[in-house]
Structure 1
Amino acid sequence: MEKAATWSGAPSIRGSTEAVRMCLLTVALIGIHCWGLEMTYGTPYLLQLGLTKSKTSLVWIAGPLSGLIMQPVVGAYADKSTSKYGRRRPFMVYGAIVTGAGLLLLGWTAEVVGLFISEGETRKNATILVAVLSVYALDFSINAVQACSRSLIVDTLPVSQQQSGSAWASRLVAAGHLLSYFIGTLDLVKLFPAVLGGDTQFKKMTVIATLALMITVGTTCWAVTERVRLPSDEDNTSVKEVLSSLWRRTINLPPRIGAICWVQFWNWVGWFPFLFYSSTFVGEIYYCYEHPAPEPGQKDEHDALGNIGRLGSLALVFFSFVTFCSSVILPYAIKSSEAPETRFTPRPPTFIPRSLQSLLKKVHKMQPDLTTAWSLSNLLFAIITIFAPWVRSLSSATRLVAACGIPWAVSCLAPFALLGIEINKMSSGPPASISGSTAPGYSAVRGSIDEDYDIELEDAQQHRRVLSDGVLRPSHSDVDGAHSSTGELAGVYLGVLNVYTTLPQFVGTFVSWVVFSLLEPGANDHDAETDPDHHRWLNVKKHAPNAIAVCMFIGALCSLVSAEAARRLKRLD
């Protein structure tokens, strides 16, 4: 049994309305839109540098590797942080700085390498190496920002607001991706001079992504005040102890948390090829079936990378727009996980016609809970992407990508909301004696995010021992030492969830490597004298299977498994 932590200070969020406070709490997640930059331009950029598709697929192991290591370690260390600025915000700031540096280095890789190495094969290889290392630095640091941003939501909001907080996070992530992809469709080289962000589309995108990340993370850190964890003798924890503790928790999860993690595992095996290769998929469909052939005996010399980036960005703009709309609408169509059970159906307003009132009552009874919605969204994703190998036009590929925005909105909402609820509920215990009537240093979120939060706080105070010096000391703990009022182990359990998010990406990376090795263009598949250079790394064979489409088809089958796992999770309710 772990020793209970002591706390000082009051959690609060600036803002005069609930919507403003929720937005300020989650706005840092917009910064994750730099991941959208990776999805849109990352694969074509590395292919243009000279990597093959099979080797490029291995580069993207950086994502799951960083999530497997960085999120749990940062989450665990943040849980025990005693910084006067709070447990999450310092890690968010440091992670944002490293991410920005990684983005800029990725955009100017050739120029930086050129300062040290002259022209030749060595410079080309060094450029590829530095670009790959930049991808790794970017993925590792952005995982730190994401881990602490998600944990901050769990720490700050009460149980009754966890689903709402996750819904707002989903909306702003979608808004960030929408903005990023929309900017990617513009010809930034023509719009802005070289002095503003470099002389290529990719460079300008890295500058925009860096600025957006700094601004959004800075806004959340300014708006949110965390309670401070007071130092104790158990705060000095080594990386080995952190990883050992993470392993114990991973293999001994509470039943519902374990079930949530397994749904997430199969869900991400399905989503991995779509998220990393969908923009390239759209570009390949265009070049394979619709791009005009060059004149006989002439090469088709043009900016294929820029074209694919813009076509992919346009498809992902539609994807993000659908995701954003779905993330705004769907939470209202999903039954709240904390809605009290009642024998009565809420009455519609009397001014509505009786026939419509009857329909609204039926719709209310059919309203799915979050677990059911998650299962249905996984099934919908499988139905959409299973047809990828038969797509033969740019418009069809764009529609397929856009339609996936509906299930993606639910996939961004459900696991974090369900896990946040479990983290905050799992430590509820019997009442303890109280040494005071008030709890200085532990007050409702400024502005009262939830109208019932003061009542919830009153009940929570029945489970705590309050010291007279303004320090909050939780007086009960479960076997893990978790405390619902402080989200003490939010970082750890969100880290465990991320393990189940990243492990399937290793599976997806391996599957992609195998498929690309079998189906990607080979060295002898094109005529170097007449074929354009992009034939070297694009699949333009009309009568051969598209490797990315095959990967998406395999992902669809795994999404069916995820849908069934979510259905079984429902049985644990």
Structure 2
Amino acid sequence: MVLLTFCLIGLQFTWGTEMTYGTPYLLQLGLTKSRTSLVWIAGPLSGLIMQPVVGAYADRSTSRYGRRRPFMIVGAAITGVGLLLLGWTSEVVGLFVPDGETKKDATIVLAVLCIYALDFSVNAVQACCRSLIVDTLPVSQQQAGSAWASRLTAAGHLAGYFIGTFDLVNIFPGWLGGDTQFKKMTVISALALWTTTGVTSWAVTERVRLAAEEDRASIKDVLSNLWHRTLNLPPRIQCICWVQFWNWVGWFPFLFYSSTFVGEIYYRYEHPPAEPGSKDEHDALGNIGRLGSMALVIFSLITFGSSVLLPYIIRSPEAPQEKFTPRPPASLAKAAQTILVKAYKLQPDLTSAWMYSNLLFAVITIYAPFVRSLAAATALVAACGVPWAVSCWAPFGLLGIEINKNSEGPRANVHGSNVPGYTAVRGTADEDEDDDIEMEEGQGGVLRINHPDESNAHSSTGELAGIYLGVLNVYTTLPQFVGTFISWIVFSFLEPGRNDHVADEDPDHHRWLNLKKNAPNAIAICMFIGALCSVVAAGMARRLKRLE
């Protein structure tokens, strides 16, 4: 499972670099916060388009290398190039445009285009990484697989943020990764993504899908199928998607602005004033990145610890069917036995844990507008690690179980045409086709991916993994549009433009940071609104529990 989910380390390393440095980098280039918030529509837009389409096409892929890995490798290559180009936008533009306002505007345009290309390609990688987990594991291991995915997601965030806390400019020479903190982070992120994706692609052996009549479907057919599935979801999958929707409306401002929030709190309330006669010029972007990274390192440590411990505390979805309580050791006293039995009965399931995590996130972030110190801002960001661990785990674990449970259906013809929605598979491209079809006893003739280590496991065809994960991603990306719109309104009212009143002798960072101590903190207001949306997500999780 570690090798299966290893690609998520590099994936989250990439997301972490973009989220930590993206906003202050665009602000440094000259964009206002309201316009920067509109740039981040690239994330939800790319997720809305790329993940479902790539997932659907990967479902139908008959490549001899597997259904998911070719898309993962190509997407990772494009993402790495986009990262490097983002770090060197000014230099690339300088090759064609002389210094001046034209170069400044062209640099902003290229940076925004890089972010769009980066988001589109990394979403393709993410779609296949998640689908690969659902394809490979049977029902009994879906929750464990999602838990491992959550752990390595946290490990990727932790590695990225930890490296970001160091002054890389002083540690490494200029010829190794550029002359700024941001450039060096883009180089490290690209290498991390290429390495981890390569490890998973090497370690995991996918079964090759046999060609079927419906494989000649057009893009229109794929999108039509996705639309049909979205409108006709099974009740529990529909409810999981709605919890995810409100959950992500709450998380959006935190994920995209938390490092800027921490850095701005420091510069607003604790940064020492410049000495008389000096201009206090320094790498404010790198400094904010390091301060934000330090807070996010603690956040990731808590996330990783929670991802390791919580799976042992939270009851597996299959556990209620067992109808028994483990007998405590006879050596324990009667009172101790009673405590153990009660503790077992109080053990929450994954749905309840998701509900409580949304409430916890709301309680934490609702205090964001009242933060006045770097320590408090760091503590607020770090405390969100516990609910984030559950949010990375619960939706995919619950959905993976539902996909596998709903995989049984009409009979498939082994020697004739396949029933649409079911997959004939083979171990490798070189095996004799007569031996390729593997069927499980008692499964009604449905062709399934065989899990040889668990002969009695309810194995999935994996046919709809890409589609349903694509639908879940629709419910993950649509709230980001909502979050972007909310952020744009808040920033437009509270910070309509740059601090144009700043004198010429003041340092440059005074122009793109809001340093007014008595002014409302726009990012904190966005996080407060997100907290209210998380309460709605908790209510939807409560409704999901009632459907059990």
- For normalisation by structure 2, the TM-score amounts to 0.91
The answer to whether structure 1 residue 372 and structure 2 residue 349 are counterparts is: no
Q: Using the TM superposition, give the Cα deviation of residue 132 of structure 1 relative to its aligned residue in structure 2, in angstroms.
A: 0.7
1:67 to 47, 52, 71: 47
Any conservation in 2 of the 1:272–1:555 contact (CA below 8 Å)? Answer: yes
Q: Return the alpha-carbon distance in structure 2 between the equivalents of residues 318 and 129 of structure 1.
A: 34
2:485 to 502, 510, 520: 510
Any conservation in 2 of the 1:52–1:537 contact (CA below 8 Å)? Answer: yes
2:165 to 167, 185, 191: 185
2:217 to 223, 237, 240: 237
Q: Return the alpha-carbon distance in structure 2 between the equivalents of residues 247 and 429 of structure 1.
A: 21
The answer to whether structure 1 residue 203 and structure 2 residue 178 are counterparts is: no
Q: Provide structure 1 residue ranges, at least 5 long, that are not aligned to the other structure.
A: 1-21, 444-457, 467-471, 475-482
2:508 to 523, 533, 539: 533
Amino acid at match of 1:77: Y
Structure 1 65/159 Cα, relative in aligned 2: closer, same or farther at 3 Å?
same
Moved over 4 A (4+): 350-355, 429-435, 440-443
Write out per-residue CA displacement over residues 290-310 of structure 1, whole angstroms, 9 at most, x where no aligned residue: 111223564322111111000
Any conservation in 2 of the 1:30–1:216 contact (CA below 8 Å)? Answer: yes
Q: Return the alpha-carbon distance in structure 2 between the equivalents of residues 245 and 226 of structure 1.
A: 24
Structure 1 555/56 Cα, relative in aligned 2: closer, same or farther at 3 Å?
same
Structure 1 460/256 Cα, relative in aligned 2: closer, same or farther at 3 Å?
farther
1:545 to 513, 517, 520: 520
The answer to whether structure 1 residue 194 and structure 2 residue 169 are counterparts is: no
- CA RMSD in angstroms comes to 2.2
Partner SS, residue 536 of structure 2: helix
Structure 1 473/344 Cα, relative in aligned 2: closer, same or farther at 3 Å?
closer
User: Equivalent residue for 1:163?
Assistant: 143
User: Equivalent residue for 2:202?
Assistant: 222
Q: Provide structure 2 residue ranges, at least 5 long, that are not aligned to the other structure.
A: 416-423, 428-437, 450-457
Q: Using the TM superposition, give the Cα deviation of residue 460 of structure 1 relative to its aligned residue in structure 2, in angstroms.
A: 4.0
1:293 to 269, 273, 297: 273
Q: Return the alpha-carbon distance in structure 2 between the equivalents of residues 521 and 298 of structure 1.
A: 29
The answer to whether structure 1 residue 486 and structure 2 residue 465 are counterparts is: no
User: Equivalent residue for 1:569?
Assistant: 544
Q: Using the TM superposition, give the Cα deviation of residue 527 of structure 1 relative to its aligned residue in structure 2, in angstroms.
A: 2.4
The answer to whether structure 1 residue 498 and structure 2 residue 473 are counterparts is: yes
Q: Using the TM superposition, give the Cα deviation of residue 354 of structure 1 relative to its aligned residue in structure 2, in angstroms.
A: 4.9
Any conservation in 1 of the 2:448–2:460 contact (CA below 8 Å)? Answer: no
1:30 to 9, 22, 36: 9
Partner SS, residue 215 of structure 2: coil
Amino acid at match of 1:520: E
Any conservation in 2 of the 1:98–1:141 contact (CA below 8 Å)? Answer: yes
Q: Return the alpha-carbon distance in structure 2 between the equivalents of residues 148 and 343 of structure 1.
A: 36
Amino acid at match of 1:572: L
Q: Return the alpha-carbon distance in structure 2 between the equivalents of residues 512 and 113 of structure 1.
A: 30
Q: Using the TM superposition, give the Cα deviation of residue 511 of structure 1 relative to its aligned residue in structure 2, in angstroms.
A: 0.5
2:113 to 133, 140, 149: 133
Partner SS, residue 174 of structure 2: coil
Q: Using the TM superposition, give the Cα deviation of residue 43 of structure 1 relative to its aligned residue in structure 2, in angstroms.
A: 0.5
Any conservation in 1 of the 2:487–2:526 contact (CA below 8 Å)? Answer: yes
Amino acid at match of 2:279: K
Write out per-residue CA displacement over residues 153-202 of structure 1, whole angstroms, 9 at most, x where no aligned residue: 00000011110000000000000000000000001111111121111111
Amino acid at match of 2:81: A
User: Equivalent residue for 2:433?
Assistant: none
Partner SS, residue 213 of structure 2: coil
Write out per-residue CA displacement over residues 414-454 of structure 1, whole angstroms, 9 at most, x where no aligned residue: 0001111111001335899999xxxx9778xxxxxxxxxxx
Structure 1 148/47 Cα, relative in aligned 2: closer, same or farther at 3 Å?
same
The answer to whether structure 1 residue 557 and structure 2 residue 537 are counterparts is: no
Q: Return the alpha-carbon distance in structure 2 between the equivalents of residues 222 and 145 of structure 1.
A: 15
Q: Using the TM superposition, give the Cα deviation of residue 361 of structure 1 relative to its aligned residue in structure 2, in angstroms.
A: 2.1
Partner SS, residue 26 of structure 1: coil
Q: Return the alpha-carbon distance in structure 1 between the equivalents of residues 374 and 257 of structure 2.
A: 15
Percent identity, please: 75
Structure 1 377/61 Cα, relative in aligned 2: closer, same or farther at 3 Å?
same
Write out per-residue CA displacement over residues 188-229 of structure 1, whole angstroms, 9 at most, x where no aligned residue: 111111121111111111111111111111111111111111
Q: Using the TM superposition, give the Cα deviation of residue 247 of structure 1 relative to its aligned residue in structure 2, in angstroms.
A: 1.1
User: Equivalent residue for 2:247?
Assistant: 267
Structure 1 500/188 Cα, relative in aligned 2: closer, same or farther at 3 Å?
same
Q: Return the alpha-carbon distance in structure 2 between the equivalents of residues 441 and 132 of structure 1.
A: 42
Structure 1 285/244 Cα, relative in aligned 2: closer, same or farther at 3 Å?
same
Partner SS, residue 486 of structure 1: coil
Q: Using the TM superposition, give the Cα deviation of residue 486 of structure 1 relative to its aligned residue in structure 2, in angstroms.
A: 1.8
User: Equivalent residue for 1:327?
Assistant: 307
Any conservation in 2 of the 1:464–1:473 contact (CA below 8 Å)? Answer: no
Partner SS, residue 271 of structure 2: coil
1:53 to 12, 29, 33: 33
Write out per-residue CA displacement over residues 453-488 of structure 1, whole angstroms, 9 at most, x where no aligned residue: xxxxx994322549xxxxx579xxxxxxxx962210
Structure 1 351/91 Cα, relative in aligned 2: closer, same or farther at 3 Å?
farther
Any conservation in 1 of the 2:4–2:204 contact (CA below 8 Å)? Answer: yes
Any conservation in 2 of the 1:423–1:484 contact (CA below 8 Å)? Answer: no
Q: Superposed, which structure 2 residues align to 1:272-287 within 5 Å? A: 272-287=252-267
Any conservation in 2 of the 1:428–1:484 contact (CA below 8 Å)? Answer: no
Write out per-residue CA displacement over residues 513-557 of structure 1, whole angstroms, 9 at most, x where no aligned residue: 111111126345532234322121112111111000000000000
- For normalisation by structure 1, the TM-score amounts to 0.87
Q: Return the alpha-carbon distance in structure 2 between the equivalents of residues 428 and 465 of structure 1.
A: 10
User: Equivalent residue for 1:453?
Assistant: none
Write out per-residue CA displacement over residues 27-83 of structure 1, whole angstroms, 9 at most, x where no aligned residue: 011112210001111111111111111111111100000000000000000000000
Q: Return the alpha-carbon distance in structure 2 between the equivalents of residues 431 and 347 of structure 1.
A: 43
Structure 1 352/441 Cα, relative in aligned 2: closer, same or farther at 3 Å?
farther
